[in-house]
Structure 1
Amino acid sequence: MVRIPSSDKIVLKRGTWTQEEDKKLIDYVTRYGHWNWRLLPKFAGLARCGKSCRLRWLNYLSPNLKRGNFTLEEEETIVKLNQLLGNRTQDYLLQ
Structure 2
Amino acid sequence: MGRSPCCEKVGLKKGRWTAEEDEILTSYIKANGEGSWRSLPKNAGLLRCGKSCRLRWINYLRADLKRGNITPHEEETIVKLHSALGNSTVTGQN
Fold match (TM-score > 0.5) = yes
Q: Provide the secondary structure at the position in 2 that maps to 1:65.
A: coil
Distance 1:28 1:85, change over 3 A: same
Q: Provide the secondary structure at the position in 1 that maps to 2:66.
A: coil
Q: What's the offset of the Cα at 1:68?
A: 0.8
Identity of aligned residues (%): 54
Q: What's the offset of the Cα at 1:34?
A: 0.5
Read off the aligned partner of 1:93 and give its amino acid letter. Answer: G
The whole-number CA distance in structure 1 between the counterparts of 2:16 and 2:55 is 13
Q: Provide the secondary structure at the position in 1 that maps to 2:89.
A: helix
Distance 1:3 1:90, change over 3 A: closer
Deviates more, 1:46-55 or 1:11-20: 11-20
* Larger helix share, 1 or 2: 1
Asked if 1:90 is matched to 2:89, the reply is: yes
Distance 1:35 1:93, change over 3 A: same
Q: Does the Cα contact within 8 Å between 1:85 and 1:92 map onto a contact in 2?
A: no
Q: Deviations over 1:65-89 (max 9, x none)?
A: 00111111111100001111112x1
Residue number in structure 1 paired with 2:21: 21
Read off the aligned partner of 1:90 and give its amino acid letter. Answer: T
Q: What's the offset of the Cα at 1:93?
A: 2.0
TM-score by length of 1: 0.85
TM-score by length of 2: 0.85
Structure 2: runs of 5+ lacking an equivalent: none
Q: Higher relative contact order by CA 8 Å / sep ≥ 6: 1 or 2?
A: 2
